[in-house]
A = this chain, B = another copy of it.
């Protein structure tokens, strides 16, 4: 039976890298005998907003809920629509309404990609950031008092639930179990943020009891960010709250030099709702329309989607194809950001061919 994939290209370079994402997926599907069926949607973009006054149609949930996965490009175009409207109106809706409570991002040194860190080689850095994706610091509870006066005070709640914390920890522990090093690092700040963070720590200790084979450590977020730079080889699976995970999953790919090409998965592990796969990069208005955007983030996100759909071998093969093309280093093929003179299409085609 075919897997039904909803395509939402979004804005800017999202619309340029998406065709290459699909090309790579089609090539992989062919080789591994997987049936994928793509359906394209126009909503979830700022142009849709300008026409309809909203980012999504009222029945978006009904339209999308039956799909096996959502394949997203990039959303946002601040000159057209302020970011908090375009993002809370689309991506953050999907994460919440489809209960995609895991945000998963690999941080991996790739061949041919220059890391900003001195003396690091492919193989040295290879870890995952697992981020809680629905609660925590991203809450809608709070408000303002004495507005407009010198006494003005603004309050926002961080809300952690046992359900919310435990399920992301469980996912992270189980991911650690599939990895050779079986190591889990928890991001905390219980020495300063004295109510929610000690609770997070407690739940980690509790959950760890069920996974005696996993080596667990924790770092406060301040020194943890320092250690991403100083000792990125220490990490295997790193788990954090919504905010800490957000920070670490940009910093991690920055340390591997892959922030422009890293993928990300927003997962509802039970499969009650579709999961969403998107590159880490944004819509990049500054280079949009030139055909020079690097499509690897989109393609790598496709590989994560294949793995999520149950095709780990196919996903791995697609990642290997990316690595192969990067290693080959053909400047006619590679885009500018990775030292070539090629186009979105030349790089996308090369990866599809390598499959």
Any chain B CB within 8 A of the CB of A223? yes
Which one of B194, B222, B249 contacts A84 once the chains associate, using CB atoms below 8 Å?
B194
Any chain B CB within 8 A of the CB of A153? yes
Q: How many copies does the complex hold?
A: 2
Provide the bound-state CA to CA distance between A199 and B158, in Å: 16
Provide the bound-state CA to CA distance between A192 and B198, in Å: 23
Which one of B118, B154, B158, B222 contacts A155 once the chains associate, using CB atoms below 8 Å?
B158
Provide the bound-state CA to CA distance between A223 and B76, in Å: 15
Contact A195 B118 (CB under 8 A): no
Complex: chain B residue closest to A138, CB-CB: B192
Any chain B CB within 8 A of the CB of A123? no
Chain B nearest Cβ from A9, distance in angstroms:
20
Which one of B83, B162, B225, B254 contacts A250 once the chains associate, using CB atoms below 8 Å?
B225
Provide the bound-state CA to CA distance between A150 and B55, in Å: 35
Question: Which residues of A (98-120) have their CB < 8 Å from a CB of B?
Answer: 114-119
Any chain B CB within 8 A of the CB of A337? no
Count class of interface residues, chain A: 35 or more
Contacts of A140 in B (CB 8 A): 194-195
Which one of B151, B156, B226 contacts A162 once the chains associate, using CB atoms below 8 Å?
B151
Chain B nearest Cβ from A201, distance in angstroms:
10
Any chain B CB within 8 A of the CB of A87? yes
Contact B160 A158 (CB under 8 A): no
Chain B nearest Cβ from A126, distance in angstroms:
18
Given known A150-B163, A254-B225, contact A195–B156 (CB-CB < 8 A) = yes
Contact B221 A247 (CB under 8 A): yes
Contact A161 B157 (CB under 8 A): no
Chain B nearest Cβ from A46, distance in angstroms:
14
Any chain B CB within 8 A of the CB of A152? yes
Any chain B CB within 8 A of the CB of A255? yes
Any chain B CB within 8 A of the CB of A189? yes
A sample of 13 cross-chain residue pairs with beta-carbon separation below 8 angstroms, ordered by A number, consists of A84-B190, A84-B198, A144-B199, A151-B161, A156-B193, A157-B158, A221-B246, A225-B250, A226-B250, A227-B254, A229-B254, A230-B254, A247-B247
